Structure 1
Amino acid sequence: MTPGSRWAQVRRAGLYLLVSLASAVVTVLALPLLCIPRLTRFWANWHRDRAGWLLGAPMGPDHAPRATGRRAWTDAATGRTSRALLWLPVNATAGLAFGLPALLCVGNIVTALIATPLWWAFRPEGRPRLFIDVPVTDWRTALVLGPLQIIVLSALAYGGFPPIARAHARLCLTTLSHTPAGQLAERVAVLTRTRADVLDAHSAELRRIERDLHDGTQARLVAIAMRLAVARQAFSDHPRDDRFLEGLLRDAHEGTEEAMTELREVIRSVYPPILADRGLDGALTAVTTRCGVPTRLDIDELARVPAAVEAVVYFAVAEALTNVTRHSQATAASVRLSRRADRLSVVITDDGTGGADDRRGTGIAGIRRRVLALDGAVDVDSPVGGPTAITLELPCGW
């Protein structure tokens, strides 16, 4: 780890600890209000998100199960509330214990920064003090003890802030995490919810295909049939009118070509023919080649991948690279596929401006639905300013 990245980690950990201290004070002062179940869960979820952010493992919202029965919903909500209530005293105690040293460290660094050049500006009875109880009364004391205090405390922060902050974050996640039974119930709820989303999407897709075939391809085929019927009747009535027959046949030929093009588009939206023709490697090569941003493709040895997984990966990569081209202002992107045992990993990265969000219609929500339907996982790391990394994990050991 480079010194620059280490100091960035120290700043991140210091900010986390100071906010934890502030949240502990708020918890103590607003304890009666925070005992309201809904506010308790909101407060706990906010701490889960912060802990996941620090540990680099963003936590999804702690939703109650859907479509699993009123009793399951009530049991899940009760379990979440009890964990959140347990977190209140833990948060108050841990926030103070972990945050106060960080505040003292940062506060005394700031004191030294002010005392070193400006000690003379204070009244004699209000002289700043370094190393807790050493008054600064002359330039010698200021120039020796001030930098020394900054160096010592900065070294303590450099070595101590990251592990202390990680310990607090792990404590938070441990207290707020599900029991094994709760994890199983949440998993069942997620699968139930994603299966319902997939059924809805499947129904909508079938309606779209039916509409495209009925309003587009079928209409063109009917028009072609009518032109051919007119041409046949005209040939019987006027066998020598070649120009009229030529026009009808030309229109019928052009209509046939257009109908074939529409039919190919409908088929491609159901299952990309390129997957059947070239396989996943060739299909992704075509997608990355057509991308408006220079894209590098790395594919490890994948062995056999189920067709459903291939289709999800193809559509996910295509959608992600479309987002890169339209929204990211990136100059380079990469797609990497690797397989470990029965898990297929897909990582799509770009060096753009970041800020990707499911809620803003960037297509990530669609990618997430496709992946979750196969019991996979999606992680989006896209801080404002970039870079963006979308990681997909899919089971492929069927």
Structure 2
Amino acid sequence: MTRRRATAYLLATLGTAAVSLLALPVLCLPGIREPWARANLRLAGDRRWHPVRLRRHLLWLAVHAGTGLPLGLFAVLVVGNLVTAVIAMTLWWAFPPAEPVTVFVEVPVTGWAVALGLGPVQLALLTAVTVWAFPVLAGAHARLTRWALTPSEAERLATRVADLTRTRADVLDAHSAELRRIERDLHDGAQARLVAVAMRLAVAKQRSDDPELVNRLVAEAHEGTEEAMVELRAVIRNTYPPILADRGLAGALVAVAARSGLPTTVDVGDLGRVPAAVESVAYFAVTEALSNVTRHSRAGRAGVRASRSHDLLTVTVTDDGAGGADEARGTGLAGIRRRAGALDGTLTVRSPAGGPTEITLEVPCSQW
């Protein structure tokens, strides 16, 4: 840690430690606890975040207040005396004789001999402290913060098991809902049309003595068959889009953007071989996101970016609309999150009021 960053870190620690001590009950509230801990973890140089239990959070608050206050006060003392040394060497004469500026242990500076004799000594010693001691102290406190806010292996395993249990339940719920949707689509759509076709053909068979009626019934049956085929293709497309098998994920995203209804740019990097399950999640996520853009955002343009870094697929959908996307309003984002969670993926939504909106999907590819 550099001297400048170490000094800034120690001075900031004084403030955060004081807040941790004075506002302890507030900082333990669910909606405040995590942001406060994450902010301090980033200050300590670690941007990774693993949720920690309340007892570990309390441990960190106690350690932070107990070590941050003295270290911060020490930094303030050193920096303050550095400033005093500079003032003593240059502006000692501006102070009234009754209240002169002092250096070291309250040695008054009343002439140039003391100012140029003791001032540089104090400046050199305190500069040495900031150069060598500050980085060591700041680094030690940062490591202590990272240790306190990093869950143990047992805690990570417990959290992982809980996440897997939740995502497994989400997958089962989503699977059941998908089966019910397919059954409903088949029953209300293709099956009903095929039943009507069969009835028309049965009537035509019985009324063979009326060629005009038979021709009309056969024509209607033919039309109904074509409509049933269209609906069957729609059901199949919503189950696993054939375009993924035909063109791959890159081609499928280009096709989705082309039929989105507004100008949409597509930027797809080298994705390599993407597992079918991951392709399906990414395809449906982009389809749903662009559908939301068209229906809700009042956007003029949209963009789709897809890239792969090692075994992590990242897909981002952006628009220049009004923003304010909210999962709670049933915009389909919750469904995208459930699909992503089933594959250990994540969904990040940035949509401030007034826009723009950015939806980022990240799904690992290695284990699928």
Identity of aligned residues (%): 59
Aligned residue pairs: how many? Answer: 296
**Deviation per residue, 1:39-90 (Å, 9 max, x gap):** 5655522413655899996968x4xxxxxxxxxxxxxxxx712112113334
Partner of 1:290: 259
Q: Is 1:182 aligned to 2:171, yes or no?
A: no
Assess, with a 3 A threshold, how the Cα gap between structure 1 residues 288 and 220 changes in structure 2: closer, same or farther.
same
Give the superposition deviation at 1:309: 1.2
Cα distance in 1 between the residues matched to 2:290 and 2:157? 34
Cα distance in 1 between the residues matched to 2:62 and 2:274? 49
Conservation of the 8 A alpha-carbon contact between 1:295 and 1:332:
yes
Once superposed, what is the RMSD of the aligned Cα atoms? 3.8
Conservation of the 8 A alpha-carbon contact between 2:41 and 2:149:
no
Partner of 2:287: 318
Q: Is 1:231 aligned to 2:231, yes or no?
A: no
Partner of 2:217: 248
SS in 1 for 2:361: strand
Q: Is 1:198 aligned to 2:171, yes or no?
A: yes
Partner of 1:84: 57
Partner of 1:220: 193
Q: Is 1:309 aligned to 2:298, yes or no?
A: no
Assess, with a 3 A threshold, how the Cα gap between structure 1 residues 257 and 57 changes in structure 2: closer, same or farther.
farther
Partner of 1:374: 343
Give the superposition deviation at 1:354: 3.0
Q: Is 1:47 aligned to 2:36, yes or no?
A: yes
**Deviation per residue, 1:157-179 (Å, 9 max, x gap):** xxxxxxxxxx9999766533312
Of residues 265, 290, 308 in structure 2, which corresponds to 1:339? 308
Cα distance in 1 between the residues matched to 2:286 and 2:41? 26
Runs of 5+ consecutive residues of structure 1 not aligned to the other structure: 1-12, 63-78, 103-166
Deviation >4 Å, runs of 4+: 23-27, 39-43, 49-60, 90-99, 167-174
Conservation of the 8 A alpha-carbon contact between 1:48 and 1:176:
yes
SS in 1 for 2:223: helix
Give the superposition deviation at 1:218: 1.5
Cα distance in 2 between the residues matched to 1:384 and 1:169? 36
Assess, with a 3 A threshold, how the Cα gap between structure 1 residues 319 and 171 changes in structure 2: closer, same or farther.
farther
Q: Based on CA coordinates, which of the two structures has the bigger radius of gyration?
A: 2
Cα distance in 2 between the residues matched to 1:323 and 1:26? 42
**Deviation per residue, 1:211-264 (Å, 9 max, x gap):** 2212322222112111101101100xxx3x222212212221222122112211
Partner of 2:131: none
Cα distance in 2 between the residues matched to 1:242 and 1:169? 91
Assess, with a 3 A threshold, how the Cα gap between structure 1 residues 98 and 216 changes in structure 2: closer, same or farther.
farther
Partner of 1:352: 321
Assess, with a 3 A threshold, how the Cα gap between structure 1 residues 264 and 200 changes in structure 2: closer, same or farther.
same
SS in 2 for 1:219: helix
Letter in 2 for 1:221: L
